[in-house]
Amino acid sequence: MSVFSDMYELGHEQVVFCRNEASGLNAIIAIHDTTLGPALGGCRLYDYPTVEDALKDALRLSRAMSYKAAVAGVDYGGGQAVIIGDPSAKNETLFRAFGRHVDSLGGRYITAEDMNTNVEDMNQIGRETRFVTGSSVKPGGSSDPSPVTGWGIYQGIRACLEVVYGTPEVKGRRVVIQGLGNVGWAVALHLHQHGANLVFADINRNRVRKALEAFGGEAVEAEDWYTTQADVLAPCAVGGVINPTSIPLLRAPIVAGGANNILEDEDRDGEALIKKGITYAPDYVINAGGLISVAGELRGTPREKVMNDAMNIFDTVKRVLNKSAMESITPVDAANRLARERMETLAAIHRTYIAPNAARG
Ligand code: NAD
């Protein structure tokens, strides 16, 4: 493995290997690109089989964060931390040791919750550094980003409807929501309020029952969600659900949902969706409301402005789909290109010299 060749290939600025013997900490912090601002991204705790696997995950996820922020117009860069270890053995010292490493980067990287880490862990990190979000330590501490995520997904669904049907109107449209957790529920709420006909699928029957009580609609078995005839399929549960097994059986012209990594393979499955005439809203574009929320919190942006910013996801999804059609590339490629274009343009602006004492807004 050559760390540098991987870094060059994906465009990373910095990778930091962190260890602390007393706490047993082994972690990697990947800073992809700070053109737009400090690198923001989660801290994942996972028992990676090898250091190579951990590095690969950190590199992949940090680049995804740069692109997500760039396309969403959020002034943050992309970063990701991975702690290599057994999630059931996590403890205070592990996160405090990690927090000191984050602090040593002086704000180039801001950490947050991710897989197997929670508010309590962020609180421990927050005892060692202020470069953490999602902890309840800070005054005005973090709140759940899911409502903003759901609002943004609703906007993205409207954009897809406009592209496919010529109108963003959701009234009377049939939408299947897979996953009725924080995100799926928020999506259901907006769609219901605007008159959509909802179909629910979740492995947790209790959640389906509650959704039916709250919004009416229908339920399908969890494994039948993608074969259900509908106007929109909104995967809001887990990744990898659009793949060579599910694609031939899809009976909806639109796939637009909030789960991360919806496509099992971006290129292969993105192409297959185009061939089948299905419009796909790239996950990281449509679910950027969470990032917009966290970024807003870090900057003290009023909630109303945050919701307005997330509304722009409507235009962004349309821009991505237009570019995809014009350039005959997949929507994910189109989004990636938009992200890189924005980062390059802003990098060019940042070349301008500004005297150290100059006041900037
Ligand atoms: P959650 O844990 O609150 O909810 C997930 C729901 O999916 C649960 O109800 C669960 O029972 C259900 N589920 C799990 N596996 C399923 C399956 N195979 N079939 C059907 N249902 C299944 O999680 P969440 O916060 O709502 O996040 C959902 C997805 O959105 C995740 O992929 C997450 O990474 C992504 N996401 C979340 C946010 C956010 O703000 N929370 C932001 C961006 C992306």
AA identity, residue 27 = A
Look at residue 109 and give its three-state secondary structure.
strand
Q: What is the 118 CA–ligand 1 centroid distance (Å)?
A: 15
Q: Give the pLDDT of residue 357.
A: 81
Q: What is the 24 CA–ligand 1 centroid distance (Å)?
A: 31
Encode pLDDT of 192-218 as tens digits.
999 999 999 999 999 999 999 999 999
Q: Give the pLDDT of residue 139.
A: 47
Q: Give the pLDDT of residue 215.
A: 98
> What is the rounded CA–CA span in Å between residue 254 and residue 349?
37
Domain 146-341 has CATH 3.40.50.720: yes
Which residue's CA is minimally distant from atom 35 of ligand 1?
259
Angle at 227 between CA 222 and CA 231, to 5 degrees: 105
Which residue's CA is minimally distant from atom 12 of ligand 1?
179
| pLDDT at residue 43 is higher than 50 | yes
Q: Give the pLDDT of residue 338.
A: 98
Q: For ligand 1, is residue 237 a contact (CB within 6 Å)?
A: yes
Q: For ligand 1, is residue 207 a contact (CB within 6 Å)?
A: yes
Encode pLDDT of 152-181 as tens digits.
999 999 999 999 999 999 999 999 999 999
Q: Is the dihedral of CA 205, 207, 213, 217 positive or negative?
A: negative
CB atoms within 10 A of CB 314: 20
Q: What is the 106 CA–ligand 1 centroid distance (Å)?
A: 33
Q: What is the 340 CA–ligand 1 centroid distance (Å)?
A: 28
Q: For ligand 1, is residue 181 a contact (CB within 6 Å)?
A: yes
Widest pairwise Cα distance in the chain: 62
- Predicted confidence band at 1 (pLDDT cuts at 50, 70, 90)? low
**Which strands, in side-by-side order, build the sheet including 39-46?**
14-20, 25-33, 77-84, 39-46, 109-112
Angle at 220 between CA 210 and CA 321, to 5 degrees: 100
Which residue's CA is minimally distant from atom 30 of ligand 1?
259
Q: For ligand 1, is residue 178 a contact (CB within 6 Å)?
A: yes
> What is the rounded CA–CA span in Å between residue 342 and residue 35?
10
- pTM of the full structure: 0.92
Residues in the chain: 361
Encode pLDDT of 99-135 as tens digits.
999 999 999 999 998 899 998 999 999 999 999 997 6
Ligand 1 atom with the smallest distance to the CA of 239 is: 32
* DSSP assignment of 110-137: EEE--TT--HHHHHHHHTT-S-B-S-SS
> What is the rounded CA–CA span in Å between residue 113 and residue 135?
9
Q: What is the 178 CA–ligand 1 centroid distance (Å)?
A: 9
Q: What is the 237 CA–ligand 1 centroid distance (Å)?
A: 4
Q: What is the 347 CA–ligand 1 centroid distance (Å)?
A: 35
Judge contact between 63 and 78, C-beta under 8 A. Answer: yes
Q: Can you name the residues that pair with 233 across neighbouring β-strands?
A: 176, 255
- Where does the chain show beta strands of DSSP type E? 14-20, 25-33, 39-46, 77-84, 109-112, 174-178, 197-201, 218-219, 232-235, 254-255, 279-280
- CATH 3.40.50.720 intervals, the chain: 146-341
Q: Give the pLDDT of residue 120.
A: 93
What is the per-residue burial (b if ≥16 Cβ within 10 Å, else e) of 258-277?
Answer: bbebbbbebeebbebbbeee
Q: What phi and psi values does residue 198 have, to the nearest 5 degrees?
A: -105, 145
Q: For ligand 1, is residue 183 a contact (CB within 6 Å)?
A: yes
| pLDDT at residue 140 is higher than 70 | no
Q: Which of 123-137, 231-245, 290-304, 345-359 has the highest mean pLDDT?
A: 231-245
Encode pLDDT of 57-68 as tens digits.
999 999 999 999
- Predicted confidence band at 361 (pLDDT cuts at 50, 70, 90)? low
Judge contact between 118 and 42, C-beta under 8 A. Answer: no
Q: For ligand 1, is residue 180 a contact (CB within 6 Å)?
A: yes
- CATH 3.40.50.10860 intervals, the chain: 2-62+76-125
Q: Can you name the residues that pair with 25 across neighbouring β-strands?
A: 20
Q: What is the mean pLDDT of the chain?
A: 94
Mean pLDDT calculated for residue range 281-306:
94
Encode pLDDT of 296-350 as tens digits.
989 999 999 999 999 999 999 999 999 999 999 999 999 999 999 999 999 988 8
Q: Give the pLDDT of residue 354.
A: 82
Residues 6+ apart with CB under 8 A from 313: 72, 152, 153, 155, 156, 159, 285, 286, 288, 289
Q: What is the 202 CA–ligand 1 centroid distance (Å)?
A: 10
Which residue's CA is minimally distant from atom 32 of ligand 1?
259
CATH number among 3.40.640.10, 3.40.50.2300, 3.40.50.10860, 3.40.50.720, domain 2-62+76-125: 3.40.50.10860
CB atoms within 10 A of CB 167: 11
- Predicted confidence band at 355 (pLDDT cuts at 50, 70, 90)? confident
Q: Give the pLDDT of residue 25.
A: 98
Ligand 1 atom with the smallest distance to the CA of 237 is: 7
Ligand 1 atom with the smallest distance to the CA of 185 is: 26
